[in-house]
A and B are shown apart, each in its own frame.
Chain A
Amino acid sequence: MNTIIYAVLVLGITALIFGIILAIAAKIFEVKTDPRLPEIQSALAGANCGGCGYPGCAGCAEAILNGKAPVNACAPAGAEGAAKIAAIMGLEAPSGEKMVAHVICNGGESCVKNFDYVGVKSCLAATKVAGGPTACQFGCLGFGECVSACQFDAIHVNEKGVAEVDKEKCTNCGACREACPRKLIVEVPYKQKVFVNCANKDKGPAVTKVCANACIACGLCERTCRLDAIHVVGNVAVIDYDKCKNCTMCAKACPKNAIEPIPTPEEKEKFKAAQKALAEKKTAEAAAQQSAEPAKAE
């Protein structure tokens, strides 16, 4: 009986002593933290993706608190998160369009390979070997450096061997943009449907040799666009997303199918016929005008 009492007493007393010591220690070693810090942290996405450039969400929350980072520093938290943080910090939330990542390459199978790369399955490592296995110095290597960088399972290498973003899952954290050694991943508006999926800045003939789907800078898209939204800059077509209305005319006009959405052959035929009809109509009109003008002069 005594043993039980002693056991209970000893354990109880030791626990009490430790409890008191810890309570005192908690007072002595108290670290005052800003009450806004945990609030901001809970408003962040909590993925610790590092897309903001700070070490994890805790680092980002601290930077926002100290005014070093903007309230919308966390891209995954989106506009909603930015508004919450702005309310905590007592600032206006900047409104912004939702952006997602996009891979500007559609090479894959049509991209000519210089050699078979056997080694570490990493794009960065592959680019270090004789400039990379792809003949195109701008194309996607497909080893998935971006796939492993993504915390949200939003980017995958598709059956063509090119990385593809799932824009529903993408939070625009920017981790894949950082990871890609060829800088093939860009920020685009979520609503955008038309993309030039090529980044090759070489001249037309050189491009044709390395890829069947690459932009040859022919300028057909530029001439087709009625909104002045697509331009050939540095031997590759670039869409101005502010002006583009997603009419997909440029995609149909592209002789190399380098612009997404890639049209079906029927669509292409139809488009060509329509263009031809339009051109004929124009020449006919011009001819009619010419024949009308001399009549007026008389």
Chain B
Amino acid sequence: MSVTKLLAISLGAILTNNFIFAQFLGICPFLGVSKKSDTALGMGLAVTFVMGLASAITYGVNIILVKLHLEFMQTVAFILVIAALVQFIEMFLKKSVPTLYTALGIYLPLITTNCAVLGVALLNVQNNYNFIQSVVYGVTGGLGFLLAIYLFATIRERTQFCDYPKSFEGFPIALITAGLIALAFMGFSGLQVWPM
């Protein structure tokens, strides 16, 4: 059961229930950091990393909360965890991998405000995932985010060279593009490879 379940979770997080196109989480960095494909790639990788780690740690925090019957505090406790985690990663990268640190730049602290990260922590609880399932869901959810933002950034790079009406320049055309990709991702809904 375990492996097929994990594969189903991965497929769901990347395609059918993509965080951006199906659940509409993490739209802010998705629109803000998608002007260039290489920065989009950096942002996607950083988010993947943080989402995986956040799923693991919030799993532990949630056990404490459930034991003390404090489930209503999940949101605030998870935000605390995520903020601390991002801070810690920033310090760690600055010391150990300065090249990656400079490449990510401002996007690293911005992950704190990425609702997809909070979303993955809350969804893990909602879906009653165990530890391994939580981590897999976090990492693959991040990969789904990476796929979405990279696809979107490459399309946005191309639309810059297109001739469209003045009133559509900039954000309007970006939003229309995002909508169209979301429609395309709708095609994945109902996809079921392994009967569960």
Contact = CB atoms under 8 A, between A and B. Distances in A.
A29 B94 contact: yes
Contacts of A22: 84, 87-88, 91
A120 B161 contact: yes
A11 B76 contact: yes
A88 B61 CA distance: 49
Contacts of B73: 7, 10-11
Contacts of A6: 68-70
Contact of A18 (B64, B70, B84): B84
Interface in A1-24: 3, 6-7, 10-11, 14-15, 18, 21-22
B65 interface: yes
B80 A11 contact: yes
A120 B159 CA distance: 11
Interface string B67-109: 0111001001100110010011001101110100000000000
Given A10-B70, A10-B77, A18-B80, A26 B65 contact: no
Contact of B95 (A7, A18, A29): A29
Contacts of A30: 95
B69 A3 contact: yes
A15 B80 contact: yes
A25 interface: yes
A10 B64 contact: yes
A48 to B, nearest CB: 11
Contacts of B96: 29
A14 B61 contact: yes
A31 interface: yes
Contacts of B69: 3, 6
Interface residues of A, number: 17
A13 to B, nearest CB: 10
A12 to B, nearest CB: 11
A7 B70 contact: yes
Nearest to B163: A121
A4 B80 CA distance: 18
A11 B84 CA distance: 13
Contacts of B80: 11, 14-15, 18
Contact of B88 (A3, A7, A25, A120): A25
A2 to B, nearest CB: 9
A120 B98 CA distance: 38
A11 B81 CA distance: 10
A3 B61 CA distance: 17
B139 to A, nearest CB: 23
Contacts of B87: 22
A25 B89 CA distance: 10
Contact of B68 (A10, A25, A26, A31): A10
Contacts of A31: 94-95, 98
A31 B94 CA distance: 7
Interface in B14-46: none
Contact of A25 (B65, B91, B161): B91
A50 B94 CA distance: 24
Contacts of A29: 91-92, 94-96
Interface string A23-37: 001101111000000
Given A10-B77, A14-B61, A25 B92 contact: yes
A22 B80 CA distance: 12
A26 B65 CA distance: 28
A44 to B, nearest CB: 17
Contacts of B94: 29, 31
A30 B92 CA distance: 9
Contacts of B70: 3, 6-7, 10
Interface string A241-259: 0000000000000000000
What 5 pairs between A and B have smallest CB-CB spacing? A29-B95, A18-B84, A29-B91, A6-B68, A25-B91
Interface of B: 61, 64-65, 68-70, 73, 76-77, 80-81, 84, 87-88, 91-92, 94-96, 98, 161
Given A15-B80, A29-B94, A120-B161, 7 more contacts: A10-B73, A14-B61, A18-B80, A18-B84, A25-B92, A30-B95, A31-B94
12 contacts: A6-B69, A10-B64, A10-B65, A10-B68, A10-B70, A10-B73, A11-B73, A14-B61, A22-B88, A22-B91, A31-B94, A31-B98
